[in-house]
Structure 1
Amino acid sequence: MNIRTIRYGLWAAIAALGLFLAGAYGLGKFQSGNVTAELGAPFNLVDQDGRPITEKAFEGHPSALFFGFTHCPDVCPTTLYELAGWLNQLGDEGKDLKAFFISVDPERDTPDVMKAYAGNFTDRITGITGDPAEVAKLILGWKVYARKVPLDDGGYTMDHTASVFLLDRNGRLKGTIAYGENPDTALQKLKRLVEG
Protein backbone atom coordinates (compact mmCIF):
# COMPACT_ATOMS: atom_id res chain seq x y z
CA MET A 1 0.00 0.00 0.00
CA ASN A 2 1.49 3.36 -0.93
CA ILE A 3 1.35 6.66 0.92
CA ARG A 4 -1.10 8.13 -1.61
CA THR A 5 -3.67 5.36 -0.99
CA ILE A 6 -3.33 5.81 2.77
CA ARG A 7 -3.79 9.58 2.44
CA TYR A 8 -6.99 9.18 0.33
CA GLY A 9 -8.31 6.60 2.77
CA LEU A 10 -7.62 8.90 5.71
CA TRP A 11 -9.38 11.85 4.05
CA ALA A 12 -12.36 9.64 3.17
CA ALA A 13 -12.57 8.45 6.78
CA ILE A 14 -12.43 12.04 8.08
CA ALA A 15 -15.17 13.10 5.66
CA ALA A 16 -17.36 10.13 6.64
CA LEU A 17 -16.86 10.90 10.32
CA GLY A 18 -17.81 14.53 9.72
CA LEU A 19 -21.01 13.52 7.92
CA PHE A 20 -21.85 11.03 10.66
CA LEU A 21 -21.33 13.63 13.41
CA ALA A 22 -23.38 16.23 11.55
CA GLY A 23 -26.20 13.73 11.12
CA ALA A 24 -26.02 12.59 14.74
CA TYR A 25 -26.09 16.21 15.91
CA GLY A 26 -29.16 16.95 13.80
CA LEU A 27 -30.92 13.77 14.92
CA GLY A 28 -30.12 14.51 18.54
CA LYS A 29 -31.62 17.97 18.24
CA PHE A 30 -34.80 16.50 16.74
CA GLN A 31 -35.13 13.77 19.32
CA SER A 32 -34.48 16.15 22.19
CA GLY A 33 -37.60 18.08 21.31
CA ASN A 34 -35.90 21.23 20.03
CA VAL A 35 -37.55 21.28 16.64
CA THR A 36 -40.72 22.69 15.27
CA ALA A 37 -42.24 21.51 12.07
CA GLU A 38 -45.28 22.24 9.98
CA LEU A 39 -47.13 18.97 9.82
CA GLY A 40 -50.76 17.99 9.98
CA ALA A 41 -53.79 18.53 7.81
CA PRO A 42 -57.44 19.44 8.26
CA PHE A 43 -59.57 16.37 8.96
CA ASN A 44 -63.09 15.40 9.98
CA LEU A 45 -63.16 12.16 11.94
CA VAL A 46 -64.82 10.82 15.08
CA ASP A 47 -63.50 10.12 18.53
CA GLN A 48 -64.04 6.91 20.46
CA ASP A 49 -67.48 8.12 21.55
CA GLY A 50 -68.58 8.78 17.97
CA ARG A 51 -68.35 12.57 18.38
CA PRO A 52 -66.92 14.67 15.54
CA ILE A 53 -63.27 15.61 15.99
CA THR A 54 -61.03 17.83 13.86
CA GLU A 55 -57.44 19.07 13.87
CA LYS A 56 -58.55 21.75 16.37
CA ALA A 57 -58.46 19.02 19.04
CA PHE A 58 -54.65 19.27 18.93
CA GLU A 59 -54.63 22.98 19.87
CA GLY A 60 -54.86 24.83 23.18
CA HIS A 61 -52.88 22.24 25.13
CA PRO A 62 -49.82 20.03 24.65
CA SER A 63 -50.62 16.76 22.90
CA ALA A 64 -49.12 13.33 22.33
CA LEU A 65 -50.23 11.58 19.11
CA PHE A 66 -49.71 7.91 18.38
CA PHE A 67 -50.75 6.29 15.09
CA GLY A 68 -51.53 2.59 15.42
CA PHE A 69 -54.27 -0.04 15.30
CA THR A 70 -56.14 -2.28 17.72
CA HIS A 71 -55.07 -5.57 16.12
CA CYS A 72 -51.41 -4.64 16.59
CA PRO A 73 -49.52 -7.50 18.25
CA ASP A 74 -46.75 -5.60 20.02
CA VAL A 75 -45.81 -1.99 19.20
CA CYS A 76 -49.23 -0.44 19.90
CA PRO A 77 -50.02 -2.11 23.22
CA THR A 78 -46.48 -1.49 24.43
CA THR A 79 -46.56 2.19 23.42
CA LEU A 80 -50.01 2.83 24.90
CA TYR A 81 -49.02 1.06 28.12
CA GLU A 82 -45.90 3.23 28.39
CA LEU A 83 -47.83 6.40 27.51
CA ALA A 84 -50.42 5.62 30.19
CA GLY A 85 -47.60 5.14 32.69
CA TRP A 86 -45.98 8.46 31.79
CA LEU A 87 -49.31 10.27 32.08
CA ASN A 88 -49.72 8.74 35.53
CA GLN A 89 -46.17 9.71 36.55
CA LEU A 90 -46.73 13.30 35.42
CA GLY A 91 -49.69 13.59 37.80
CA ASP A 92 -51.03 17.13 38.17
CA GLU A 93 -48.02 18.47 36.26
CA GLY A 94 -49.39 16.81 33.12
CA LYS A 95 -53.10 17.51 33.62
CA ASP A 96 -53.26 19.65 30.44
CA LEU A 97 -51.53 17.04 28.27
CA LYS A 98 -53.95 15.31 25.88
CA ALA A 99 -53.09 11.93 24.38
CA PHE A 100 -54.58 10.63 21.12
CA PHE A 101 -54.49 7.15 19.58
CA ILE A 102 -55.18 7.56 15.85
CA SER A 103 -56.16 4.44 13.92
CA VAL A 104 -54.28 3.52 10.76
CA ASP A 105 -56.83 0.71 10.28
CA PRO A 106 -60.25 2.40 10.30
CA GLU A 107 -61.87 -0.54 8.50
CA ARG A 108 -61.64 -2.59 11.71
CA ASP A 109 -61.19 0.14 14.32
CA THR A 110 -64.70 1.45 14.94
CA PRO A 111 -65.29 4.00 17.72
CA ASP A 112 -66.49 1.25 20.09
CA VAL A 113 -63.43 -0.89 19.35
CA MET A 114 -61.13 2.11 19.87
CA LYS A 115 -62.81 3.02 23.17
CA ALA A 116 -62.53 -0.51 24.55
CA TYR A 117 -58.92 -0.84 23.40
CA ALA A 118 -57.67 2.53 24.69
CA GLY A 119 -59.64 2.01 27.91
CA ASN A 120 -57.49 -1.02 28.67
CA PHE A 121 -54.61 1.40 29.31
CA THR A 122 -56.12 4.63 30.67
CA ASP A 123 -59.13 6.88 30.21
CA ARG A 124 -56.75 9.72 29.29
CA ILE A 125 -56.08 8.42 25.76
CA THR A 126 -58.70 9.41 23.18
CA GLY A 127 -59.16 7.14 20.19
CA ILE A 128 -59.66 8.70 16.74
CA THR A 129 -61.03 6.85 13.71
CA GLY A 130 -63.54 7.32 10.92
CA ASP A 131 -63.85 7.38 7.17
CA PRO A 132 -60.81 5.68 5.58
CA ALA A 133 -60.31 8.55 3.10
CA GLU A 134 -60.25 11.09 5.96
CA VAL A 135 -57.87 8.90 7.96
CA ALA A 136 -55.62 8.68 4.89
CA LYS A 137 -55.55 12.52 4.70
CA LEU A 138 -54.53 12.72 8.35
CA ILE A 139 -51.82 10.07 7.91
CA LEU A 140 -50.48 11.86 4.83
CA GLY A 141 -50.55 15.25 6.56
CA TRP A 142 -48.43 13.94 9.43
CA LYS A 143 -46.10 12.09 7.04
CA VAL A 144 -46.82 8.86 8.87
CA TYR A 145 -45.92 5.54 7.30
CA ALA A 146 -48.86 3.09 7.25
CA ARG A 147 -49.25 0.10 4.95
CA LYS A 148 -51.55 -2.92 4.90
CA VAL A 149 -49.60 -6.20 4.88
CA PRO A 150 -51.42 -9.39 3.80
CA LEU A 151 -51.11 -12.46 6.02
CA ASP A 152 -50.99 -16.10 4.93
CA ASP A 153 -54.38 -16.81 6.53
CA GLY A 154 -56.10 -14.24 4.29
CA GLY A 155 -56.18 -11.52 6.95
CA TYR A 156 -53.86 -8.57 7.23
CA THR A 157 -51.76 -6.57 9.63
CA MET A 158 -50.39 -3.03 9.38
CA ASP A 159 -46.86 -1.69 9.22
CA HIS A 160 -46.76 1.83 10.64
CA THR A 161 -44.67 4.57 12.20
CA ALA A 162 -44.01 3.65 15.82
CA SER A 163 -43.08 7.04 17.32
CA VAL A 164 -45.20 9.26 19.55
CA PHE A 165 -45.50 12.79 18.14
CA LEU A 166 -45.25 15.60 20.72
CA LEU A 167 -47.20 18.76 19.90
CA ASP A 168 -47.08 22.15 21.59
CA ARG A 169 -50.15 24.19 22.55
CA ASN A 170 -50.42 25.47 18.97
CA GLY A 171 -50.58 21.96 17.52
CA ARG A 172 -47.04 22.16 16.12
CA LEU A 173 -44.60 19.27 16.28
CA LYS A 174 -41.97 19.80 18.97
CA GLY A 175 -40.38 16.34 19.04
CA THR A 176 -40.97 12.62 19.22
CA ILE A 177 -40.63 9.68 21.54
CA ALA A 178 -39.17 6.74 19.65
CA TYR A 179 -40.44 3.21 20.17
CA GLY A 180 -38.31 1.62 22.87
CA GLU A 181 -36.84 4.94 23.99
CA ASN A 182 -35.41 5.09 27.50
CA PRO A 183 -38.45 5.65 29.78
CA ASP A 184 -36.71 8.36 31.83
CA THR A 185 -35.76 10.25 28.66
CA ALA A 186 -39.32 9.96 27.37
CA LEU A 187 -40.73 11.28 30.65
CA GLN A 188 -38.33 14.24 30.55
CA LYS A 189 -39.50 15.07 27.02
CA LEU A 190 -43.10 15.08 28.22
CA LYS A 191 -42.19 17.29 31.19
CA ARG A 192 -40.49 19.80 28.88
CA LEU A 193 -43.53 19.70 26.60
CA VAL A 194 -46.02 20.51 29.37
CA GLU A 195 -43.74 23.23 30.78
CA GLY A 196 -43.50 24.91 27.36
Structure 2
Amino acid sequence: MDSQNKAPSQRLALWTCVVVMAATVVAAGIAAAPRPAPRFHGTTYTEAAPAADFALTDHDGRAVSLRSYRGAPVLLFFGYTHCPDVCPLTLDRLTRALRSAGDVAKDVRILLVTLDPARDTPAALKTYAARFGPAVIGLTGDSAGLAKARAGYGAYVADVPAQPAAGHAHEGHGAPPASTVQALKTVHSGVVYGIDRRGNLQVVITEGAPVEQVADDVRTLARL
Protein backbone atom coordinates (compact mmCIF):
# COMPACT_ATOMS: atom_id res chain seq x y z
CA MET A 1 0.00 0.00 0.00
CA ASP A 2 2.84 2.36 0.89
CA SER A 3 4.52 1.64 -2.44
CA GLN A 4 1.32 2.56 -4.28
CA ASN A 5 1.16 5.90 -2.45
CA LYS A 6 4.80 6.60 -3.15
CA ALA A 7 4.53 6.07 -6.91
CA PRO A 8 2.38 9.16 -7.69
CA SER A 9 4.58 11.28 -5.41
CA GLN A 10 7.72 10.09 -7.15
CA ARG A 11 6.19 10.79 -10.57
CA LEU A 12 5.14 14.29 -9.42
CA ALA A 13 8.62 14.99 -8.10
CA LEU A 14 10.13 13.75 -11.36
CA TRP A 15 7.85 15.93 -13.47
CA THR A 16 8.55 18.94 -11.25
CA CYS A 17 12.27 18.39 -11.74
CA VAL A 18 11.84 18.12 -15.51
CA VAL A 19 9.77 21.33 -15.65
CA VAL A 20 12.32 23.24 -13.55
CA MET A 21 15.19 22.00 -15.70
CA ALA A 22 13.36 22.92 -18.90
CA ALA A 23 12.60 26.41 -17.58
CA THR A 24 16.26 26.84 -16.64
CA VAL A 25 17.40 25.83 -20.11
CA VAL A 26 14.92 28.23 -21.76
CA ALA A 27 15.98 31.09 -19.49
CA ALA A 28 19.64 30.43 -20.22
CA GLY A 29 18.90 30.41 -23.95
CA ILE A 30 17.10 33.73 -23.73
CA ALA A 31 19.95 35.26 -21.73
CA ALA A 32 22.53 33.99 -24.19
CA ALA A 33 20.63 35.11 -27.31
CA PRO A 34 22.03 38.29 -28.87
CA ARG A 35 20.00 41.39 -28.17
CA PRO A 36 18.66 43.27 -31.17
CA ALA A 37 20.74 46.31 -32.06
CA PRO A 38 19.27 49.63 -30.88
CA ARG A 39 17.60 51.62 -33.64
CA PHE A 40 19.18 55.03 -34.26
CA HIS A 41 18.68 57.62 -36.99
CA GLY A 42 22.38 58.46 -36.90
CA THR A 43 25.31 56.37 -38.09
CA THR A 44 25.88 53.24 -36.02
CA TYR A 45 28.54 50.57 -35.76
CA THR A 46 28.30 46.83 -36.38
CA GLU A 47 29.34 46.37 -32.77
CA ALA A 48 29.52 49.08 -30.11
CA ALA A 49 33.02 49.52 -28.67
CA PRO A 50 34.40 51.60 -25.79
CA ALA A 51 34.65 55.27 -26.73
CA ALA A 52 38.10 56.83 -26.69
CA ASP A 53 39.02 58.21 -23.28
CA PHE A 54 40.67 61.60 -22.72
CA ALA A 55 42.39 63.61 -20.01
CA LEU A 56 41.08 67.19 -20.07
CA THR A 57 39.89 70.01 -17.80
CA ASP A 58 36.23 70.97 -17.39
CA HIS A 59 34.92 74.51 -17.25
CA ASP A 60 35.13 74.47 -13.44
CA GLY A 61 38.85 73.76 -13.62
CA ARG A 62 38.61 70.09 -12.61
CA ALA A 63 40.64 67.33 -14.26
CA VAL A 64 38.21 64.97 -16.00
CA SER A 65 38.18 61.98 -18.32
CA LEU A 66 35.37 60.18 -20.11
CA ARG A 67 35.19 57.90 -17.08
CA SER A 68 34.20 60.93 -15.01
CA TYR A 69 30.81 60.80 -16.76
CA ARG A 70 30.28 57.05 -16.48
CA GLY A 71 26.65 56.35 -15.58
CA ALA A 72 25.34 59.23 -17.70
CA PRO A 73 24.76 59.26 -21.47
CA VAL A 74 27.14 61.65 -23.22
CA LEU A 75 26.86 63.71 -26.41
CA LEU A 76 30.42 64.69 -27.34
CA PHE A 77 31.08 67.56 -29.72
CA PHE A 78 34.25 69.36 -30.91
CA GLY A 79 33.94 73.12 -31.33
CA TYR A 80 34.93 76.50 -29.89
CA THR A 81 33.30 79.54 -28.36
CA HIS A 82 34.15 81.95 -31.19
CA CYS A 83 32.64 79.67 -33.82
CA PRO A 84 30.18 81.79 -35.83
CA ASP A 85 27.77 79.12 -37.02
CA VAL A 86 28.24 75.36 -36.58
CA CYS A 87 28.83 75.36 -32.83
CA PRO A 88 25.96 77.55 -31.63
CA LEU A 89 23.56 75.87 -34.06
CA THR A 90 24.65 72.40 -32.94
CA LEU A 91 24.47 73.18 -29.23
CA ASP A 92 21.07 74.81 -29.65
CA ARG A 93 19.81 71.75 -31.55
CA LEU A 94 21.15 69.36 -28.92
CA THR A 95 19.62 71.25 -25.99
CA ARG A 96 16.26 71.45 -27.77
CA ALA A 97 16.47 67.72 -28.48
CA LEU A 98 17.08 67.03 -24.78
CA ARG A 99 14.00 69.03 -23.84
CA SER A 100 11.96 67.18 -26.46
CA ALA A 101 13.23 63.80 -25.24
CA GLY A 102 11.74 64.45 -21.79
CA ASP A 103 12.60 62.92 -18.42
CA VAL A 104 14.49 60.00 -19.91
CA ALA A 105 17.19 62.48 -20.99
CA LYS A 106 17.45 64.40 -17.72
CA ASP A 107 20.95 63.09 -16.94
CA VAL A 108 22.41 63.38 -20.47
CA ARG A 109 25.57 65.51 -20.62
CA ILE A 110 26.70 67.51 -23.65
CA LEU A 111 30.50 67.81 -23.72
CA LEU A 112 31.99 70.59 -25.84
CA VAL A 113 35.69 69.87 -26.41
CA THR A 114 37.40 73.06 -27.54
CA LEU A 115 39.37 73.47 -30.74
CA ASP A 116 40.68 76.85 -29.59
CA PRO A 117 42.39 76.40 -26.21
CA ALA A 118 44.23 79.73 -26.45
CA ARG A 119 40.97 81.64 -26.09
CA ASP A 120 38.72 78.99 -24.55
CA THR A 121 39.81 79.17 -20.93
CA PRO A 122 37.66 77.32 -18.39
CA ALA A 123 36.02 80.63 -17.48
CA ALA A 124 35.23 81.45 -21.12
CA LEU A 125 33.83 77.95 -21.69
CA LYS A 126 31.67 78.17 -18.57
CA THR A 127 30.17 81.49 -19.67
CA TYR A 128 29.52 80.12 -23.16
CA ALA A 129 28.04 76.83 -21.93
CA ALA A 130 25.64 78.70 -19.63
CA ARG A 131 23.95 80.17 -22.73
CA PHE A 132 22.68 76.71 -23.62
CA GLY A 133 21.78 75.27 -20.23
CA PRO A 134 23.16 73.14 -17.39
CA ALA A 135 23.59 69.99 -19.51
CA VAL A 136 26.44 71.59 -21.48
CA ILE A 137 29.98 71.25 -20.11
CA GLY A 138 33.00 72.87 -21.77
CA LEU A 139 36.29 70.96 -21.83
CA THR A 140 39.79 72.23 -22.56
CA GLY A 141 43.35 71.07 -22.00
CA ASP A 142 46.88 71.26 -23.30
CA SER A 143 47.64 70.78 -26.98
CA ALA A 144 48.70 67.14 -26.54
CA GLY A 145 45.58 66.20 -24.58
CA LEU A 146 43.27 67.89 -27.06
CA ALA A 147 45.06 66.36 -30.06
CA LYS A 148 44.70 62.91 -28.49
CA ALA A 149 40.99 63.51 -27.90
CA ARG A 150 40.46 64.56 -31.53
CA ALA A 151 42.44 61.57 -32.82
CA GLY A 152 40.46 59.20 -30.63
CA TYR A 153 37.23 60.17 -32.39
CA GLY A 154 38.65 60.90 -35.82
CA ALA A 155 37.35 64.46 -35.55
CA TYR A 156 37.99 66.58 -38.63
CA VAL A 157 39.50 70.02 -38.05
CA ALA A 158 41.58 72.32 -40.26
CA ASP A 159 42.69 75.93 -40.19
CA VAL A 160 42.16 77.72 -43.50
CA PRO A 161 42.78 81.36 -44.46
CA ALA A 162 39.81 83.51 -43.62
CA GLN A 163 38.19 85.61 -46.34
CA PRO A 164 39.04 89.32 -45.92
CA ALA A 165 36.21 91.56 -44.89
CA ALA A 166 34.50 93.62 -47.57
CA GLY A 167 36.56 96.70 -48.40
CA HIS A 168 39.79 95.13 -47.12
CA ALA A 169 40.71 93.21 -50.27
CA HIS A 170 44.25 93.89 -51.45
CA GLU A 171 44.16 95.66 -54.81
CA GLY A 172 47.83 96.56 -55.17
CA HIS A 173 47.63 99.79 -53.16
CA GLY A 174 50.07 98.84 -50.40
CA ALA A 175 50.15 95.81 -48.11
CA PRO A 176 46.86 94.45 -46.79
CA PRO A 177 46.16 94.68 -43.05
CA ALA A 178 48.13 92.20 -40.92
CA SER A 179 44.89 90.69 -39.64
CA THR A 180 43.94 89.80 -43.22
CA VAL A 181 47.28 88.14 -43.87
CA GLN A 182 47.34 86.03 -40.70
CA ALA A 183 43.66 85.43 -39.98
CA LEU A 184 42.68 81.77 -40.01
CA LYS A 185 39.26 80.19 -39.84
CA THR A 186 38.84 76.86 -38.06
CA VAL A 187 36.83 74.49 -40.20
CA HIS A 188 35.51 71.45 -38.39
CA SER A 189 32.91 68.74 -38.53
CA GLY A 190 29.57 69.25 -36.82
CA VAL A 191 28.97 65.60 -35.95
CA VAL A 192 28.09 64.54 -32.41
CA TYR A 193 29.29 61.32 -30.80
CA GLY A 194 26.65 59.51 -28.72
CA ILE A 195 28.15 57.48 -25.85
CA ASP A 196 26.08 55.27 -23.56
CA ARG A 197 26.20 55.05 -19.76
CA ARG A 198 28.83 52.30 -19.87
CA GLY A 199 31.18 54.38 -22.03
CA ASN A 200 30.46 52.68 -25.36
CA LEU A 201 30.30 54.71 -28.57
CA GLN A 202 26.86 53.89 -29.98
CA VAL A 203 26.00 56.46 -32.63
CA VAL A 204 27.35 59.39 -34.63
CA ILE A 205 24.69 62.04 -35.09
CA THR A 206 25.17 63.80 -38.38
CA GLU A 207 25.53 67.54 -38.76
CA GLY A 208 22.19 69.22 -39.35
CA ALA A 209 20.07 66.25 -38.23
CA PRO A 210 16.48 67.40 -37.45
CA VAL A 211 15.74 68.02 -33.78
CA GLU A 212 13.13 65.26 -33.56
CA GLN A 213 15.53 62.69 -35.01
CA VAL A 214 18.18 63.79 -32.53
CA ALA A 215 15.60 63.55 -29.72
CA ASP A 216 14.75 59.98 -30.81
CA ASP A 217 18.42 59.05 -30.77
CA VAL A 218 18.85 60.64 -27.34
CA ARG A 219 15.93 58.57 -26.00
CA THR A 220 17.41 55.39 -27.44
CA LEU A 221 20.86 56.22 -26.04
CA ALA A 222 19.47 57.04 -22.59
CA ARG A 223 17.59 53.73 -22.37
CA LEU A 224 20.63 51.55 -23.09
Both proteins in one fold, TM over 0.5: yes
Is 1:173 aligned to residue 201 of structure 2?
yes
Equivalent position to 2:57, from 46, 50, 66? 46
What secondary structure is seen at the aligned counterpart in 2 of 1:144?
coil
**2:78 corresponds to which residue?**
67
Equivalent position to 2:149, from 113, 138, 158? 138
CA distance in 2, matches of 1:167, 1:36: 13
CA contact (8 A) 2:129 2:136 kept: yes
Q: Please report how far the alpha carbon of residue 41 of structure 1 lies from its aligned counterpart in structure 2 after TM superposition.
A: 3.7
Q: Please report how far the alpha carbon of residue 89 of structure 1 lies from its aligned counterpart in structure 2 after TM superposition.
A: 2.1
**1:161 corresponds to which residue?**
189
**2:20 corresponds to which residue?**
none
Q: Indicate the structure (1 or 2) with the bigger Cα radius of gyration.
A: 2
CA contact (8 A) 2:55 2:145 kept: yes
Task: Show structure 2 runs of 5+ residues with no match.
Answer: 1-38, 165-179
Q: How many residues are aligned here?
A: 169
Task: Show structure 1 runs of 5+ residues with no match.
Answer: 1-27
**1:21 corresponds to which residue?**
none
**1:147 corresponds to which residue?**
158
Larger CA deviation: 34-43 vs 52-61: 34-43
What are the superposed Cα offsets for residues 75-133 of structure 1, whole Å, 9 maximum, x if unpaired?
10000011111122223221221111111221221111111111111121000001111
Larger CA deviation: 38-47 vs 100-109: 38-47
CA distance in 1, matches of 2:193, 2:202: 8
CA contact (8 A) 2:95 2:132 kept: yes
CA contact (8 A) 1:61 1:97 kept: yes
**Structure 1 31/88 Cα, relative in aligned 2: closer, same or farther at 3 Å?**
closer
Length-normalised TM-score, structure 2: 0.69
CA distance in 1, matches of 2:75, 2:199: 10
**Structure 1 37/115 Cα, relative in aligned 2: closer, same or farther at 3 Å?**
same
CA contact (8 A) 1:99 1:126 kept: yes
**2:29 corresponds to which residue?**
none
Length-normalised TM-score, structure 1: 0.78
CA contact (8 A) 1:146 1:159 kept: yes
CA contact (8 A) 1:43 1:55 kept: yes
